[in-house]
Structure 1
Amino acid sequence: MAALSLRNVTVIAHTPLFRNLNLVIGEGDRLGLVAANGAGKSTLLKCIAGLVEPTEGDIVRPRGLSVALVEQDVPANLLDLSLHDMLLTALSGDEHASEEWRVDMVLDEFEAPDDLRTLPMRALSGGWQRLALIARAWITQPDLLLLDEPTNHLDLEKLFRLEAWINAAGYTAPIVVASHDRDFLDACTTKTLFLRPEESVAFAHPYRGARALLDAHDAAAQTQRDKTLREVKRLRQSASALRNVGINSGSDAAQVKSAQIKRRADTLEQAARAVHKERPGEIRLANRGSHARVLVALENVAVHAPDGRKLFTVPKLDVAQGERIVVLGRNGAGKSQFVRLLHGAMTQADGLPGIRVSPSLALGYVDQDMGQLPQGATAHDFILSRFRLGDQRSRAVLAEAGFTIERQGLPIAKLSPGQKARLGLLALRLSEPNVYLMDEPTNHVDIPGREQLEAEILDQQATCIVVSHDRSFVKTIGTRFLLIDKGRLREIDGPETFYDTVTG
């Protein structure tokens, strides 16, 4: 029996997010929800959860249906609770004493270390905060589980753990997942809904199979549109010819026939809707180029944690022009510390001990939190002051990157994570680097944006040093793979060598 039905559901927020959406979510469904940033995924999940009312249409829920929505951030009122107590608050008051064992059972399912269970939520990593929110929803045993970007902030180990948990979940209640992680969607879903402003499209396949069917669907729709518009053109020409005949001969019948044909052409033209085109905003990279073959060289370099602990050493590493190096390693191995060390060396005139930087190196840097963006400035003021493009050109490049005039005037702190990511990548491009140093550059970037970033890196033959948990991104761009393991940085043949150790 269906758990929940959507009938002609429409949501309009300034412009339509989606229209006339019909969807049945049934027992055992694992539905992937795919759309560009700002296209309505979170809004749809809130509608399904009953937190937001659609503009039009009906959402029919069976009586007593319990729905749990896992949003992207920990509510402020839960940040000071311990991990254990945060989960406990999901149970009703009279269940606290008799059902507390369920908290430990769920934490065991998620393999939460004992020492983490007593720490306050604000002290946990972003990855553990995400898993904690999912565990908190799961403990209530909902009839329908909704996950909004569940892989954000997860390292590969936690990501694989979440995939395994979803696939081994011991119940048949449906799960709806909004995500930009293509491999995660393939691993954890059986159906895909592509959410669109005019006509949303669903397929009974995981993401990549559904994407191929969607491309075929759009190609067929475009062919039909072209055929219809050719017929419209022919009808208009016929109507015009008949009208002229009627005028010249004084024939009322020809005039009437001309008007009928014109109305037929108008009807066909209105029915020939434009085929949906993703508009992710331009992500374009530049490559200033360099005559130097080796842009960065490291020898006997130690990487330390903020508290001074030695994490690993780099015996020898040369970064040659055109190489795209992916740095892999478990959470806490020191990947981000390595990126910060390289950033420090590349931004100092004399480099750092053991790190030699070519004088022709021009750095483009992105960290995973977009910490390089001034939170108090507006997007327009940031681009205008940093790159001195002039007012009109600054507005134009922001519009190309998907920023409306209204969003250009918002403080960066008020932009969504996806919008901040786009702004950071725009600034990266405008700096015209010849080396890209990127720590999780696809965080919060939607699938069209990720694919465009991949294409630009390849087209520009960019030199990159990248940390990423996006397996599709890593596979597409990587030419060399470095693994931080057992206190040492070493080269491996491909990312699968590392992935096997994580899943094993």
Structure 2
Amino acid sequence: MLLSAEQISKTYGTRKVLDRVSLYLEAGQKLGVIGVNGTGKSTLLRILAGAEEPDEGRVSRDPNVRLNYLPQLPAFDEKNTVLEQVFAGVSPEARALAEYEAKTILTRLGVPLFEQRVGALSGGQRKRVALCSALACPCDVLILDEPTNHLDSGMVAWLEDELRQFKGALVMVTHDRYFLERVVGRMAEVEGGALAFYEGNYDKYLEQKALREEMAQASERKRQAILRREYQWVMQGPTARGTKSRERLERYEDLKSQSGPEERTALELSAVSSRLGKKTVELHGVSKSFAGRTVLRDFDLMLLREDRIGVVGRNGSGKSTLLNLIAGRLMPDSGEVVTGKTVRMGYFSQENPPMDPKMRVIDFVKEIGNSIETAEGRVTASQLLEQFLFPADEQWAPIGKLSGGERRRLFLLSILAAAPNVLLLDEPTNDLDIQTLTILEDYLETFPGAVIAVSHDRYFLDKTVRRIFEVGESGAVTEYVGNYTDYLDARKAEEKREKTVSAPAEKRRERPSGSKKLKFSYKEQREYENIDGEIAALEEQLAQIRTEQEAKASDYVALQALQSRESELEAALEEKMERWVYLNDLAEQIAGQAGGT
């Protein structure tokens, strides 16, 4: 037993989020933790990691067990460099052993500027630095809270492979359902202060939960049938009842006092939108550049009235820029964006808008309207909040009391309740729980308008979109028909064709087999000698860009240009670092070969 939590309870104010729950973690076990936002998932992880004490119960672990923890909101010292932050609290000896691994992980996660100050990083880059801190040093127990947030699809696929190969025990909160399907072997759901465990991955969880709920409903139907029969018996009259056994009367009272399975509130909103005319949104030859780097080149789009488009690409490739151009928040350098007169746009951005922490939740919704019209009739603000998993007693709470995920859900409610007919969703799955995501996906199925979603969530894209736009590094946008799985299949087919075409040339470059030793080619030798200087030059350019960003923090246009240039340099540095790894590995093999002669 690596770690055990026994009879854990935790209360915030009058709200008991954990009520005498227990959890036992065995070596090699991989546990996925799910539940509606605000139910206590992050609290559970903090207690398991020792970052927070329970009100009752205890957490025990072997003193020799090494534990690494990624919190949902990591703390940073803004004066630290990236590497200093990764190894904060780690001994110099442990850092020396893990530094190469840390640099490799940072490069994979798109943060290759190791000496940059943490204070100059974006929020997404900081979360990736914290993730590297959890992954770089060896451990027996790894606790991760939302590790896939702020990762692009390639990074998520890489992390998935890393965690599947991880030999230690893993406890992870994530709303990425493919991640849960492919990585974990056991599920735990936090609900109503309790923990319910399910053996297997996400698919098995769905099967077992449906069966458990069916059994609970069957038991409740049986209880109600017995109650009706016993009630008739009790009501036969004082004379008849006086001759009955006391035990039967007590059984009746006991059955009467029991409560049935709790009816779960589901986020269930009929698709609401305003009328959309024939003309929606059109882009004609649109291009956009920042600091000499083209993020969108000669792009054309005619948005259909019920389009479902997913936008993918590496971090910094220009996905959010595309949404901002469609929304009119950015102007193109060339080309034009034409928006129909009936278009009513709803933009669910990555960042929540400013919310007054003192404002009550219900007042926030009433600013949109006291009620909205749906296909089933008029829905009041209070009813709407209940459909979005805000019970009546929570609707009068100040927004400042909500968790990050609950605020995200409230923001989504405000977007949908405004009845848009074109929805722009920028990373909609970040910080939303699975129950909310599932109903959002169902909502989009019946939404009578167009949807464009930037997302790294493969499950979400598979379920909701019919076209994929891939934004490339050069600003070109490539269209693929189908969902995300169809897009991956098409990409694999393209790569296979490219390899087939290049195979003869590769074959000519292969070294003949036999006793010949490995050695650098002339080009590789020169590259090996110069690559450290080239990396240093790129790091210096990035440092200058960071300094300029700090100086122009209030100049939005200049900041956009600098951020694009920063992404370009980071991509170049990542490529150099990967080449550096290859050349140094080859140099070690050559040296070992020489030593063996």
Pair 277,444 (structure 1): closer, same or farther in 2 beyond 3 Å: farther
Equivalent residue of 2:6, what SS?
strand
- Of 133, 136, 143, the residue aligned with 1:136 is 133
Equivalent residue of 1:264, what SS?
helix
- Of 87, 90, 96, the residue aligned with 1:100 is 96
Equivalent residue of 1:142, what SS?
coil
Residue 184 (structure 1) shift: 1.3
User: Conserved in 1, the CA contact under 8 Å of 2:34 and 2:190?
Assistant: yes
Structure 1 residue 289 and structure 2 residue 285: aligned? no
Structure 1 residue 341 and structure 2 residue 337: aligned? no
Pair 325,244 (structure 1): closer, same or farther in 2 beyond 3 Å: farther
- Of 129, 135, 154, the residue aligned with 2:151 is 154
- Of 344, 349, 355, the residue aligned with 1:367 is 349
Residue 370 (structure 1) shift: 1.9
Residue 192 (structure 1) shift: 0.6
Partner of 2:426 in structure 1?
Answer: 439
Q: Distance in 2 between matches of 1:452 and 1:279?
A: 12
Residue 121 (structure 1) shift: 2.1
User: Conserved in 1, the CA contact under 8 Å of 2:10 and 2:54?
Assistant: yes
5 Å-filtered alignment, 1:126-275, equals: 126-169=123-166, 172-197=167-192, 199-241=194-236, 243-246=238-241, 252-254=242-244, 257=245, 259-271=246-258, 273-275=259-261
Equivalent residue of 2:191, what SS?
coil
Q: Distance in 2 between matches of 1:382 and 1:418?
A: 16
2:223 partner amino acid: T
Pair 118,458 (structure 1): closer, same or farther in 2 beyond 3 Å: same
Fraction of identical pairs, as percent: 25
The structure that has the greater radius of gyration is: 2
User: Conserved in 2, the CA contact under 8 Å of 1:36 and 1:280?
Assistant: no
2:235 partner amino acid: S
2:475 partner amino acid: G
- Could you give the per-residue CA deviations for residues 228-268 of structure 1, whole angstroms, max 9, x where no partner exists? 2211221222222264424xxxxx433xx2x4323102223
Pair 330,375 (structure 1): closer, same or farther in 2 beyond 3 Å: farther
Structure 1 residue 317 and structure 2 residue 301: aligned? yes
Q: Distance in 1 between matches of 2:231 and 2:400?
A: 53
Structure 1 residue 303 and structure 2 residue 299: aligned? no
Residue 279 (structure 1) shift: 3.4
Q: Distance in 2 between matches of 1:277 and 1:148?
A: 28
5 Å-filtered alignment, 1:354-503, equals: 354-371=336-353, 373-375=354-356, 378=359, 379-387=361-369, 393-403=380-390, 412=399, 415-485=402-472, 486-494=474-482, 495-496=484-485, 498-499=487-488
2:485 partner amino acid: E
Q: Distance in 1 between matches of 2:131 and 2:355?
A: 32
Partner of 2:563 in structure 1?
Answer: none
User: Conserved in 2, the CA contact under 8 Å of 1:236 and 1:262?
Assistant: no
Pair 18,443 (structure 1): closer, same or farther in 2 beyond 3 Å: same
User: Conserved in 1, the CA contact under 8 Å of 2:42 and 2:72?
Assistant: no
User: Conserved in 1, the CA contact under 8 Å of 2:46 and 2:71?
Assistant: no
Q: Distance in 2 between matches of 1:198 and 1:73?
A: 22
Residue 53 (structure 1) shift: 3.3
Pair 301,375 (structure 1): closer, same or farther in 2 beyond 3 Å: farther
1:304 partner amino acid: S
Residue 135 (structure 1) shift: 2.4
Quick check: 408-417 or 183-192, which moved more? 408-417
Residue 365 (structure 1) shift: 1.3
2:115 partner amino acid: T
User: Conserved in 2, the CA contact under 8 Å of 1:236 and 1:261?
Assistant: no
Residue 435 (structure 1) shift: 0.8
Partner of 1:26 in structure 2?
Answer: 26
Pair 143,277 (structure 1): closer, same or farther in 2 beyond 3 Å: farther
Partner of 1:65 in structure 2?
Answer: 65
Residue 19 (structure 1) shift: 3.3
Aligned-residue CA RMSD (Å): 3.0
1:253 partner amino acid: T
Pair 304,383 (structure 1): closer, same or farther in 2 beyond 3 Å: farther
User: Conserved in 2, the CA contact under 8 Å of 1:9 and 1:55?
Assistant: yes
User: Conserved in 2, the CA contact under 8 Å of 1:304 and 1:337?
Assistant: no
Q: Distance in 1 between matches of 2:198 and 2:285?
A: 53
User: Conserved in 1, the CA contact under 8 Å of 2:82 and 2:116?
Assistant: yes
User: Conserved in 2, the CA contact under 8 Å of 1:296 and 1:318?
Assistant: yes
Residue 195 (structure 1) shift: 1.8
> If the length of structure 2 is used for normalisation, what is the TM-score?
0.73
2:307 partner amino acid: E
5 Å-filtered alignment, 1:29-48, equals: 29-48=29-48
Structure 1 unaligned regions, length at least 5? 247-251
1:312 partner amino acid: L
Q: Distance in 2 between matches of 1:416 and 1:120?
A: 29
User: Conserved in 2, the CA contact under 8 Å of 1:126 and 1:154?
Assistant: no
Residue 158 (structure 1) shift: 1.7
1:182 partner amino acid: R
Partner of 1:83 in structure 2?
Answer: 82
Residue 488 (structure 1) shift: 1.3
Residue 55 (structure 1) shift: 3.8
Partner of 2:265 in structure 1?
Answer: 279
Residue 461 (structure 1) shift: 3.3
- Could you give the per-residue CA deviations for residues 365-411 of structure 1, whole angstroms, max 9, x where no partner exists? 1101123x445672444433344669x95455445433467765666
Pair 131,114 (structure 1): closer, same or farther in 2 beyond 3 Å: closer
Pair 281,114 (structure 1): closer, same or farther in 2 beyond 3 Å: closer
2:101 partner amino acid: M
Structure 2 unaligned regions, length at least 5? 373-378, 496-597
